Structure 1
Amino acid sequence: MPKIAADGKYLTVLNLFSTDAPEKQERLLGAMREIVDAAAYEGWISSTVHSGQDKPGTANFIQWRSTEDLETRYAGEEFKHRTLPLFGEMTTSIRLLQNEVAFTQQVPSGYGTTVISPDRNDHTVIEIFGVEEKDQEDLIDALGPSQEWLTEVGGYRSHTVLRGLRGRGLDGKFVVSYAQWDSKEAYDAFRTLPEEQRSAARRKTDARVAALATSHDWNTYRVVHTRSAGQ
């Protein structure tokens, strides 16, 4: 099962597809499973498919050996003339985001590393933050190391902060937060907690993130399929 580590070993690609109907989401998931199960690309490490929960859509968390390997895939005839047109028929937006892992944190009782797998029951939250280039590192700190207090929040399991390197379908610099929670109920309780009931540490980091981010988009997901090279 794929593991996330802030060691710079892999290029992390997050492909986000939004759609406007549950049936289109199911078609997307079927097409993604087919591609993942047939994957044999040079430099491809793993792919993990996520099914949108709060809003229709899908996410694919992919690990590659290098940017060069990924760009070779993008330049291929199959990707340009079959994969992209196929997804274009079923989606309202496509964002192909290249990242590096900048930070990862787990609760002390966790695995000691961040694991993504359909065998787990994680309620996964993916947030995309737009940011000015000069503020990107500050936003990474605000979303990552400055949120150590999250380990004391009920239902929290882990979160990973990704430094956006380049993207298709998204302009400018960005930062991604990939978080795992025990359940939808635990996350919703955290997200909707009135500000006056939030801890001082949370209010401080919330204000810092709001001041640094130029845009914010999110959805929740369930991991439904994964495969790694050699399987």
Structure 2
Amino acid sequence: MPKIAADGRHLTVLNLFSTDAPEKQEKLLAAMREIVDSAAYEGWISSTVHAGQDKPGTANFIQWRSTEDLEARYAGEEFKHRTLPLFGEITTSIRLLQNEIAFTQQKSGPGGATEISPDRDDYTVIELFGVEESGQEDLLDALGASQTYLLDVPGYRTHTVLRGLRARGLDGKFVVVYSQWDSKQAYDAFRAQPESERVPERRKVDSRVRSLQTWQDENTYRVVHTRSSEE
């Protein structure tokens, strides 16, 4: 199964597709499975497909050897004349995000590798934060190394912070947080906790994040399919 590690070995691409109806999400998932199962692109390492939970949409967490390999895929006739037009018909937005892993943390502590697979039962949250270029590193720290308090939160499993490098369908600098939880109930309880009941470390971090972000968006997911070049 694919693993996320902050070792700088791979380019991490997160393709986020939103749509406006569950049946369109199913069409997206079917199209993505077909593409993933036939993938044989130079430099492609793995793809892991996620189905939207709170809002219709999909996410594809992809590992590439390099930016050059990815751009060769984008320049191909299949991508330009079949893949993009197909997705354009059934989506309301397409965001193709190129990133590098800046931080990982698991329940056991920071620095390990995070597994993503449909064989696991993770309730996955993907949060996207806009930020001024001058504040990106501070936001990476606020969302990553400063959040060790999460290790004591019931239902928390892992989170990974990604440094946004460049994107299609999104302007400006950004940061992504990919987190895994025991369940929707655990995550919702964490988000709904009154500020007065939050530990001081969380209140401090929340205030810092609010001061740095220019906008924020999120959705929740279940992993439904994965394949790697080794298979």
In the superposition, the TM-score normalised over structure 2's length comes to: 0.99
3-state DSSP of counterpart to 2:146: helix
The alignment status of 1:214 with 2:180, answered yes or no, reads no
Cα distance in 2 for partners of 1:5, 1:112 equals 7
CA distance in 2, matches of 1:160, 1:93: 24
Pairs within 5 Å for 1:1-231: 1-108=1-108, 112-231=112-231
- 1: CA distance between counterparts of 2:216 and 2:111? 29
**8 Å Cα contact 2:109/2:151 also seen in 1:** no
Structure 2 Cα separation of the partners of residues 159 and 109 of structure 1: 10
Per-residue deviation, 1:108: 1.1
Q: Quick one: distance in 1 between partners of 2:110 and 2:7?
A: 19
Give the C-alpha shift of residue 46 in structure 1. Answer: 0.1
Partner Cα separation in structure 2 for residue 117 and residue 111 of structure 1: 19
**Is the deviation greater in 107-116 or in 16-25?**
107-116
- In 2, Cα distance between equivalents of 1:70 and 1:84: 15
Q: Deviations over 1:52-98 (max 9, x none)?
A: 00000000000000000000000000000000000000000000000
CA offsets 1:177-200 (integer angstroms, 9 cap, x no match): 000000000000000111111110
8 Å contact 1:125–1:178 — kept in the other structure? yes
Paired AA for residue 161 in structure 1: V
Deviation per CA, 1:104-156, whole angstroms, max 9, x where unpaired? 00011899420000000000000000000000000000000000110110000
C-alpha distance in structure 2 between counterparts of 1:66 and 1:109, whole Å: 29
Q: CA RMSD in A?
A: 1.2
Residues 52 and 58, structure 1, Cα contact 8 Å, conserved in 2: yes
1:6 and 1:109, CA in 2 relative to 1: closer, same or farther beyond 3 A? closer
Secondary structure of residue in 2 paired with 1:96: strand
Contact 1:139 1:175 in 2 (8 A): yes
Query: Counterpart of 1:116 in structure 2: which amino acid?
Result: I
> Structure 1 residue 230: deviation in Å?
2.3
Gaps of at least 5 residues in structure 2 are none
Letter in 2 for 1:108: S
Q: Conserved in 1, the CA contact under 8 Å of 2:105 and 2:111? A: no
**What's the secondary structure of 2:95's corresponding residue?**
strand
User: Identity across aligned pairs (percent)?
Assistant: 78
Q: Which runs of 5+ in 1 are unaligned?
A: none
| SS in structure 2 at match of 1:146 | coil
Q: In the aligned structure 2, how far is the partner of 1:110 from the partner of 1:183?
A: 21
Please tell me whether the aligned partners of residues 19 and 90 of structure 2 are also in contact (alpha carbons under 8 angstroms). yes
Q: Is the 8 A contact 2:5 2:112 kept in 1?
A: no
Aligned length: 231
Q: Which runs of 4+ in 1 moved over 3 A?
A: 109-112
Question: Given that residues 110 and 157 in structure 1 are in contact (C-alpha distance below 8 angstroms), is that contact kept between their aligned partners in structure 2?
Answer: no
